[in-house]
Structures are given as structure tokens and as C-alpha cells.
Chain A
């Protein structure tokens, strides 16, 4: 059976040369970077080099603006809570886009329980932030604006330059979560006007266990982790040296490989979407069409009348690894808040699958996926009462309405006694 990994948004394999670069730091170069002897100083130099490599990936001026954390989630927590607590006396208001990652959304929710207020700025049907709404949301009490570069679910690329301009005009620091874009799209912290940027190397062929937070002098932060004076006092705790070294090299490779990565995945993305559109009826692409507004690695699909987890399981049984934003896949039984924010009908959110491409994927992988996915859709539709009821004209399609029958949502509400996800 062919194995096709189409979940590069979740993680990527460590490159062999990255793994090789990490190995000595487990064994002979095991020193603690805070130590002042030879063992420590050697490792300290290695961390400095990794900081430079991370800074180069996002075009930061200095490696002194790079802090290492344990992962992207910790970086997001530090950015949001660190800035909020550092500026408590200035104001207790935050502005975020409605489609941020849970590490941002849940950090904000935590702060709301502690007395902060937050404005969530809406997005259009393609998931692009409403700039007028953003500008209007900022008040004299606003201490931070958080807008991610690329959405983790639907791949929408935000107009960072415009967002940065609005923040600069109002004098509010901007935090940009680049978790879904680092290593796959050019990032320029100055062009973005970003005071803070976060990302993690395991998304671009580096190891897990390390996150990066860029912070320039415009943003004051307080530490969330208390202990020794590591990372300039911003993040206590001994650094994960092997992962940082590997992550640094992965960042350096990303800089040189970026044009090939973008070209390779864009070509496969176009082929995959064209193939699925041709072979699977009643399928919809969520987020922008492939092109300048969408990252080249991501396809977020809704296949009507069937549910996402079943699709995911059958893909997996056929060797294809994908993700889903369906409520059945989430542990909370809620559909992805991103799909809700773009106003996707809940019947379509339920049938959601996310495919994310990477360098190891080939045209053969894509063709196999198209062919297999078409069979899976047919199999699941054969089991679905909704497909049968659609064919009999009792319920209608959301993607291509026929004008016959009631809506899926209306039908679902009737048979379950109340609206789903109410």
C-alpha cells in the first residue's frame, strides 16, 4: 500500500542532516548553556548560532531578539500573557482575529477571566481579516493586537503589511503567530511591523520540543515561567539544546529551500484540488482559491452528506494521513471555530477534511489520493441517510442547491429535536 502523509500542518519529519547536527548535543556536548566552564560555553555558542539562524528566517535584526521556549503554544502564551501582564497599568484590552489558533484564543480567554477584555475581529468568507473592523477595535486601552500570518485550518494568508500599518498608526504592538507559515512562506518582521512573532521548527523539518519567540524592543513582556535567568530572564528553565541546534539548522535550510518548497507544494496543491473537484461531486474548498491569498501547502475540503471522521479513518486505512475540523474528530464535539468564523454551514463543517502538503509528496501521491478519496466518498455516501434523502429530493445540497427539499440543518434540527451545535 502507498503511504501518503498529507498532514504537514501537524508535523514534519526531522531532516537527516538536522538529526546529525543534533546528535553530539545529546552525548559529548551535553553541557548546560548557563554553566561558565568549557562544557557550558561550547553549548552557549551553539545556542547563539541557532538564534542567528532563527533570526535570519524571519529577517530579524539581531539574535538577541530571539527567545527559545518549549513549543509554539508556549511562545503564544508568553506573547499574549507576557505583554498583557507587563502593560496592566496602561490598559487591559486585547484585539485578536477570530480565527487565531487555540493557543492564542485560550490564552485570551484565560485573561478575560482575570479581568481583561478582548475584541475578536471578524474575517470574511475566505478567512481574511476585516481591516476596518480591526482599526475600529483598537482603543487607548489596547495593549496588544494578535493576528496570525496564515490560518492553520484554511490556509488564508493575512494582509500583514496592512495589519502592521494599522497597529503602528495606533501605537499598539502586533503579535504575529507564524506557526503555519514559517519555513513555507517568506516572513519579514519589519515588513509585517511585528513586535512579536512565534513559530516552531517541527513544522519545517526540525525537531519537536522547541518553540521560538521573536520580540523586539517595542513590546515589553514579563516572564511566565519563573526560575533561573535563562533566555535573558524572559523564560526560565534549561534550554532544550539538541532541539534548538536542530531547529536552527532547519531554519537555515528553510531559507535556501523556500522557493523550491513553494513551487513544489503549489504545483501539487493545484493538481490535488483539480483532481478532487473533477472526481468527487458536491465538494467544496474552504478558504481562498489556491493563489496569492492561500498558503501552497493547505487544502481544506468539505464533502457534502458525509462526516469527516469516517473520511479520515478510511483515508488512514488506505495509507493516507489527513486531519479534520469536524466535531466528531474534536475532543470537545465542537466544529472548528475557524469554520464557524467563516460562516460555513454546519453540515459542511461536519464533512471537513484538511490535507497539508510537504516536500516528500509526489504527483503519484496526489493522484492516488484523488482516486482513493473518490472511492471513500462513494462508500460513505452509500451508508449516509443524507445522501439517499438528497437523491430523493427530501433535503437539498448547500454546495450546489437544486431548489428541492429542505436544508440539511433544518432536517438535522428536526430529527435531533434542536439545532446542532446550539
Chain B
């Protein structure tokens, strides 16, 4: 075969083949691990948070190509965001940044959003004082 055909678009394939931010963070400030009951995939996101901002993010994923690409893209997108900004993060951002996902795979991006939110919740639980100091009085969790 001379041509190469791919199941997903080039951006998704690229993030699947060369995932960004793959791994765990030593001394993470927040860790979230969620599973999708629909398909059985599991995603874990670890965050390093400093001065109310996401300084670093890592993921580990047990799942299909689009689940791996979604978690790779989600960790890319949220780095540098404040906690409040990250709390507003939606799966649509992942879908858009990846240039679209097949309809049956949209739930992979939802899983990435859920893993991120779970990591933020873990951070809030562990560091209530930091949240208050940097949220400028605005509610953090939706």
C-alpha cells in the first residue's frame, strides 16, 4: 500500500502517537482518576498548581486512541490556566483543538474534562486556603 489511511484525523493521530505530558507528577497538588462506565476506559490527570495557576499537568490513560489523544490535548490546553479558568474547561475545547472526534468517541473528551475536574476537586480538598487566596472571593467549584 502506497498511501496511508488513518482512523482519526492527523491531529488526533499525532497526539495518540506522540502524546504530550504523559506520565505522573511527583508531589502533585491534585490527582483525579475517572472511568467511563459506557466503554470501560480510565483516565488519570495529575496537576502541579502554584499561585493559583496550573503550572504542570500529566496524564495516564487506559483507553482507545481518541481517549489517549483527548487526555494529551486536555493537559496541553490547561497548562497556565488559573483554577477558576480550569473549572470552566469543557470537553468541547478538546474536541475543537483536536479538529473533531467521531461522534461515538466524543465521550473520550468528556472523560478528559471529568479527569481534570476531579484533579481540581482533589486540589481544592487538599488546599482550601490556596483556593480562597487566589479565587478573589469568587466561587471556585461550579
Q: CB-nearest residue of chain A relative to B107?
A: A333
**Of A60-68, A125-133, A306-314, which binds chain B?**
A306-314
Q: CB-nearest residue of chain A relative to B61?
A: A383
Q: A305-B62, A306-B62 are in contact. Are A328 and B39 (CB under 8 A)?
A: yes
Q: Are B1 and A412 in contact (CB under 8 A)?
A: no
- Distance between A194 CB and nearest chain B CB, rounded to angstroms: 38
Q: How many residues of A contact B (CB 8 A)?
A: 37
Q: Is A270's beta carbon under 8 Å from chain B?
A: no
Q: Are B40 and A327 in contact (CB under 8 A)?
A: yes
Q: From B39, B40, B68, give the contact of A383 (CB < 8 A).
A: B68
Q: Are A416 and B37 in contact (CB under 8 A)?
A: yes
Q: Is B53's beta carbon under 8 Å from chain A?
A: no
Q: Are A415 and B64 in contact (CB under 8 A)?
A: no
- Distance between A8 CB and nearest chain B CB, rounded to angstroms: 17
Residues on A with C-beta less than 8 A from B41 are: 307, 328
Of residues 304 through 348 on chain A, the ones whose CB sits less than 8 Å from some CB of chain B are 305-310, 313, 317, 326-329, 331, 333, 335, 346-347
Q: Are B62 and A385 in contact (CB under 8 A)?
A: yes
Mark each residue of chain A from 374 to 413: 1 if its CB lies under 8 Å from any CB of chain B, else 0.
Answer: 0000000011111010000000000000000000000111
Q: A346-B40, A383-B22 are in contact. Are A415 and B33 (CB under 8 A)?
A: yes
Q: Is A37's beta carbon under 8 Å from chain B?
A: no
Q: CB-nearest residue of chain B relative to A346?
A: B40
Mark each residue of chain B from 36 to 71: 1 if its CB lies under 8 Å from any CB of chain A, else 0.
Answer: 111111111000000000000000111111011000
- Distance between A308 CB and nearest chain B CB, rounded to angstroms: 8
Q: Is A278's beta carbon under 8 Å from chain B?
A: no
Q: Is B80's beta carbon under 8 Å from chain A?
A: no
Q: A307-B63, A350-B40, A384-B62 are in contact. Are A412 and B16 (CB under 8 A)?
A: no
Residues on A with C-beta less than 8 A from B68 are: 310, 383
Of residues 109 through 163 on chain A, the ones whose CB sits less than 8 Å from some CB of chain B are none
Q: Are A313 and B36 in contact (CB under 8 A)?
A: no
Q: Is A3's beta carbon under 8 Å from chain B?
A: yes
Complex Cα gap A327–B37 (Å): 11
Q: Are B64 and A307 in contact (CB under 8 A)?
A: yes
Q: Is B30's beta carbon under 8 Å from chain A?
A: no
Q: Are A420 and B65 in contact (CB under 8 A)?
A: no
- Distance between B71 CB and nearest chain A CB, rounded to angstroms: 9
Q: Are A420 and B64 in contact (CB under 8 A)?
A: no
Q: CB-nearest residue of chain B relative to A313?
A: B65
Q: Is B24's beta carbon under 8 Å from chain A?
A: yes
Q: Are A415 and B17 in contact (CB under 8 A)?
A: no
Q: CB-nearest residue of chain A relative to B17?
A: A317
Q: Are A313 and B7 in contact (CB under 8 A)?
A: yes
Complex Cα gap A417–B67 (Å): 18
Complex Cα gap A144–B28 (Å): 62
Q: CB-nearest residue of chain A relative to B63?
A: A307
Complex Cα gap A202–B31 (Å): 51
Residues on A with C-beta less than 8 A from B61 are: 383-385
A selection of 20 A-B contacts at a CB cut-off of 8 Å is A308-B64, A309-B63, A310-B65, A313-B7, A317-B17, A328-B39, A328-B41, A328-B64, A329-B64, A331-B104, A333-B39, A333-B104, A335-B40, A347-B40, A385-B42, A386-B62, A413-B37, A414-B35, A416-B34, A420-B36
Q: Which residues of A contact B (CB under 8 A)?
A: 3, 305-310, 313, 317, 326-329, 331, 333, 335, 346-347, 350, 382-386, 388, 411-422
